Amino acid sequence: MQYFVLFIKKLVIAICMIYTFDLIVSSVGIFIPINVVTVLSVTFLGLPAMFGLLILKNCM
């Protein structure tokens, strides 16, 4: 039960991080979509995953 609560906390924080990043950087034209893959990768890997997704999106 303790691991489930920790996972839910990390999931909510990841969603908030992506949403906040999108709000701050939207004026520049950069957008990371909020979907299952991005949320789970940021949940497990944290901030480096978000910047990695940003680099992948801009390279393609």
Q: Phi/psi of residue 32, each to 5°?
A: -105, 120
| Dist CA 29 CA 58 (whole Å) | 11
Report whether pLDDT(60) > 80: no
CA 29, 34, 35, 36 dihedral sign is: positive
Contact (Cβ atoms closer than 8 angstroms) between residue 20 and residue 1: no
pLDDT at 30: 84
Rounded to two decimals, what is the model's pTM?
Answer: 0.85
pLDDT in tens, 2-57: 999 999 999 999 999 999 999 999 888 888 889 999 999 999 999 999 999 889 88
Look at residue 20 in the predicted model and tell me its pLDDT: 94
Gap between the Cα atoms of 32 and 23, Å rounded: 10
Query: For position 23, what pLDDT does the model report?
Result: 94
- State which residues form the domain around 51: 2-59
Q: How many structural domains are present in the chain?
A: 1
Q: Please give the backbone phi and psi of residue 11, each rounded to the nearest 5 degrees, phi first.
A: -65, -45
pLDDT of residue 13: 95
